[in-house]
């Protein structure tokens, strides 16, 4: 693949912009020999094997990914929208190439797979793979999501049983059930859902007579939020981690 096309697919601008970056000496490519340093490239049409290619653009190191699949530790006070209404957008936490990757749809860049409320923290997955978005976001596929819930009032086993048996929310007469639910202490609940209704955790907890004080998503499918990923940080998913979410 031509170097200008590689940069284009990774979100570094239009093909013309990418060609200009190369011709102006702003791009270096790392040889397959890991011990060698980055080599300057000024020919936009120079051919490279794209898979696994590492390069540097204006001082930023990057590795080629045919599709972008990342995890992000969402902090509080951030909206999962590209057009936020009152709080900063989660997309401002990402580098420009991830926001600008060309996409077949109308919206460029990676997209969040489901949304977390601005005051909810935890594991958020973003990708430019439409099939993966559908697989993880569609209620039909029953992908479990685990939430750590801090309650305002101490809970008891009767509230846990009601969440497991099902509660009725105001937008659907059919009961909504937790796939799993347990108390780690009277004011901390671990709740597993396979759906994704609007404010679902908060509304389910309210339906059993309690209130959510803090909410954190710790797991999607078999993928847990790593302890070493700080709030606001992101990283690429490994092939093993992709397998944990069925990708």
Which residues are the active-site residues? Answer: 117
User: CA-to-CA distance for 219 and 147, rounded, in angstroms?
Assistant: 7
Q: What is the sign, positive or negative, of the torsion defined by CA atoms of 1, 12, 51, 26?
A: positive
**Rounded (10°) CA dihedral 215, 124, 238, 145:** 50
User: CA-to-CA distance for 166 and 168, rounded, in angstroms?
Assistant: 7
Q: DSSP class of residue 92? A: G
User: CA-to-CA distance for 31 and 41, rounded, in angstroms?
Assistant: 11
Q: Which of 124, 71, 131, 64 is nearest to 97 (CA)?
A: 64
Q: Are 30 and 36 in contact (CB under 8 A)?
A: yes
User: CA-to-CA distance for 120 and 122, rounded, in angstroms?
Assistant: 7
């Amino acid at each position: 693949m031509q170097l200008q096309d590689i940069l284009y697919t990774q979100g570094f601008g239009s093909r013309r912009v990418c060609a200009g970056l190369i011709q102006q000496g702003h791009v270096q490519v790392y040889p397959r020999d890991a011990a060698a340093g980055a080599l300057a490239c000024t020919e936009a049409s120079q051919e490279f094997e794209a898979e696994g290619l590492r390069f540097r653009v204006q001082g930023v190191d990057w590795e080629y990914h045919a599709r972008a699949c990342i995890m992000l530790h969402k902090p509080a006070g951030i909206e999962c929208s590209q057009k936020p209404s009152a709080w900063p957008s989660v997309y401002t936490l990402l580098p420009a190439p991830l926001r600008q990757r060309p996409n077949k749809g109308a919206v460029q860049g990676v997209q969040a797979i489901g949304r977390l409320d601005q005051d909810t923290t935890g594991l958020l997955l973003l990708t430019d793979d439409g099939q993966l978005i559908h697989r993880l976001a569609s209620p039909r596929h029953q992908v479990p999501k685990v939430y750590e819930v801090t309650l305002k009032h101490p809970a008891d086993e009767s509230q846990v049983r009601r969440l497991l048996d099902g509660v009725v929310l105001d937008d659907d007469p059919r009961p909504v059930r937790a796939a799993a639910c347990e108390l780690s202490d009277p004011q901390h609940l671990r709740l597993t859902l396979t759906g994704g209704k609007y404010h679902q955790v908060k509304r389910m907890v309210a339906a059993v007579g309690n209130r959510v004080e803090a909410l954190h998503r710790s797991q999607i499918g078999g993928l847990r939020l790593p302890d070493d990923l700080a709030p606001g940080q992101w990283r690429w998913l490994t092939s093993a981690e992709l397998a944990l979410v069925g990708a």
